[in-house]
Structure 1
Amino acid sequence: MADESVSIVVPAWNEENTIGATLEALHRIRGKTSHPLWSELIVVDDGSTDLTAERASRWATVVIEHERRLGKGAAMRSGWMRAKGDIVLFADADLEHSAEHLAGLLEPVRRGEADMAVARFEQPSARGGFGLAKRFAGNGIYRMTGLRFEAPLSGQRAVRSELLRKMRHVPVGFGIEVGLTIDAARLGYRICEVPLPLCHREMGKSLSGFWHRGGQMVAIAQTMLRRWSRSAP
C-alpha cells in the first residue's frame, strides 16, 4: 500500500569517495512525493579503514559501525535488523547520483505487485568482466527455483520486512543476493525485476576485478550448496 513506511539500508566498505553523493541523491528523492518517500536512512559501515562513517554521518539517520569487516551480507542484516520500515530498500554505496532512480524500485512493492523488486541496470558497462559470476548465480537460482533473472546479483532491492524476518542462515558475504532470491522464491513470495538507469563502479578486467569476482563465486557457491541440501529456507 502507498502509505507503507520505507527504511533504506546502505552497506558500505571503504566508500569515502562515493557514499556522500549516493546519500545526497537518496535525500533528493525523499521529498518528491506528497508523503516522504522514506522514513529512515541507515548506513552500515562494515569495518572501513577510511572516512566512510564520517562522510555518511552527515546524511544518515543512523550509522552502524562494525569493528571489523564481516561481509556484505552481515552488513545488510545489521541494517535490516535495525530498520523499522514495512519495506526495506537496499542500495549500494557507490551508486552516487544515479541513486535517485531507486524510487522506481518501490513502486511494484507498494502497489502490491511484488514482495521483492530487484533493479536491473539498463546500461551495463562494456568495461565489466566476462559475466561468469552472473551466469553462475542465475543458473543456480534457476535450478533451485525454476525462475530466470537477468540481474541475479543486483544489490539494489526493495524487500518486504516480513520476508527478511523469515530468512534463516543469512549469508555473511557476497552470496546474500542469491540467498535472498532463493529463499523468497521458495517461501512463495513474488519477485520482479525493474530496469533502472543506474550506474556504479566497475571492477573491470583487472587483477583486482578477477580477484573480487573469484571471491564472489566462492560465496555464491557456498550459499547455493547450503540451500541445495534443504527443501526450504
Structure 2
Amino acid sequence: MEKLVSIIVPAYNEESRIAQALEELKQASFAEHGFEKEIIIVNDGSRDNTLGILKKVKGIKLVSYAENRGKGFALRQGFKEAKGSVIAIQDADLEYDPTNISLLLKEILSGHNVVFGSRFKGKPKKMTFTFYFGNKFLSVLTSLLFGQEITDMETCQKVFTKGALDKISLSANGFDIEPELTAKFMKAGHQILELPISYDAREKEEKKIGVSDGIKAAFVLLRIKIFG
C-alpha cells in the first residue's frame, strides 16, 4: 500500500498564481519514495477570484470560508483535513519550488520527523535586506532560546510526520504560525533537519508579511520558551 503525504496550501488572493501552483503540484511525483499525495487547498477568505479558480480544479480537496482569518488559521484547518502520515506545507505563490518537497520527504524516510527547507542554505533570489536581516535575526534568536542551531526558522516549506504534529498544540492564526511550529517542535525534542532549497522571492510590494509580523514572531518565541 502506498504511503500518503498531505500537501497543505493556504491561499489568500492568489488568482494570478494559484492555477500554475496547482498544476506544478499535481505534476510533482513522489513515487520514487513510495508516496502518493493529496493536495489540500485552504481558501482563506480570498476577495479576488481565487475561489472561482479553485472550484474548477479537479483532483484537490478544497477547504473554503468567507472571512480572511490568517495563514495560521488556514494551515490549522488544513491539518485537520489531512489523511497522510506525512504533512508538507507549500505556499500558493510559487516562491518555493514544489519539487523541493521530494528532497525533504526523502529525509523523512531516513528517520527524521521534522525537515525544513532552508533558503539560506540555498541561494535565495530577490530577498530584500529587511527580510534577509529579519529572518536571520529570528533564526539566531530561535537557536539561542532552544539550544538548536537553525538557519531559516521562518521557512514556509516544512515537512513533518503526522505523529510529530499530533504531539504539539497550535493556536496561531497569522504568520506567527511559522515560529510557533518551529519552537514547539524544538521544545518537544525534535531535532530539525534543514536542507538547501531554491527560493524566488516576490517583489516587495506583493509581500503580505511586514515588520510587525517579525516583531510578533520574536514575542511568540519568547512566550513558548517561558510558558510552553
With the shorter chain as reference, the TM-score category is: 0.7 to 0.9
Instruction: Output the amino acid matched with 2:143.
Output: Y
CA contact (8 A) 2:186 2:192 kept: yes
Question: Any idea what the Cα deviations from partners look like across 1:37-76, whole Å, max 9, x if unmatched?
Answer: 4331000111110121232341552111122111111111
CA contact (8 A) 2:44 2:68 kept: yes
Q: Distance in 2 between matches of 1:97 and 1:226?
A: 29
Q: Distance in 2 between matches of 1:96 and 1:186?
A: 28
SS of the equivalent of 2:28 reads helix
Pair 157,110 (structure 1): closer, same or farther in 2 beyond 3 Å: same
Deviation at 1:132, TM superposition (A): 3.5
Q: Which residue of 2 aligns with 1:189?
A: 190
Deviation at 1:23, TM superposition (A): 1.3
2:51 to 36, 50, 53: 53
Q: Distance in 1 between matches of 2:126 and 2:201?
A: 13
Query: 1:46-125 maps to which residues of 2 (within 5 A)?
Result: 46-57=44-55, 58-95=57-94, 98-112=97-111, 114-121=112-119, 122-125=122-125
Matched, 1:227 2:227: no
Q: Which residue of 2 aligns with 1:149?
A: 150
Q: Distance in 2 between matches of 1:42 and 1:119?
A: 20
Q: Distance in 2 between matches of 1:93 and 1:200?
A: 13
Q: Distance in 2 between matches of 1:87 and 1:104?
A: 14
Pair 220,139 (structure 1): closer, same or farther in 2 beyond 3 Å: same
Matched, 1:17 2:19: no
Unaligned 5+ residue runs, structure 2? none
Question: Any idea what the Cα deviations from partners look like across 1:105-137, whole Å, max 9, x if unmatched?
Answer: 21101221x211111232212452322321332
Q: Distance in 1 between matches of 2:150 and 2:214?
A: 17
Q: Distance in 1 between matches of 2:95 and 2:225?
A: 36
Q: Which residue of 2 aligns with 1:172?
A: 173
Question: Any idea what the Cα deviations from partners look like across 1:78-124, whole Å, max 9, x if unmatched?
Answer: 10111010000100101179323321121101221x21111123221
SS of the equivalent of 1:92 reads coil
CA contact (8 A) 1:23 1:59 kept: no
SS of the equivalent of 1:184 reads helix
Question: Any idea what the Cα deviations from partners look like across 1:134-189, whole Å, max 9, x if unmatched?
Answer: 13321331232112222111110111111212222421111111111111111112
Pair 136,97 (structure 1): closer, same or farther in 2 beyond 3 Å: closer
Pair 168,34 (structure 1): closer, same or farther in 2 beyond 3 Å: closer
Question: Any idea what the Cα deviations from partners look like across 1:2-24, whole Å, max 9, x if unmatched?
Answer: 95321110011111111111111
Q: Distance in 2 between matches of 1:90 and 1:127?
A: 20
Q: Which residue of 1 aligns with 2:129?
A: 129
SS of the equivalent of 1:98 reads coil
Q: Give me the TM-score of the superposition, normalised by structure 1.
A: 0.86
Q: Distance in 1 between matches of 2:45 and 2:181?
A: 23
Q: Give me the TM-score of the superposition, normalised by structure 2.
A: 0.87
4+ long deviations beyond 6 Å: none
CA contact (8 A) 2:2 2:36 kept: no
Pair 198,126 (structure 1): closer, same or farther in 2 beyond 3 Å: closer
Q: Distance in 1 between matches of 2:68 and 2:28?
A: 30
CA contact (8 A) 1:10 1:42 kept: yes
SS of the equivalent of 2:62 reads strand
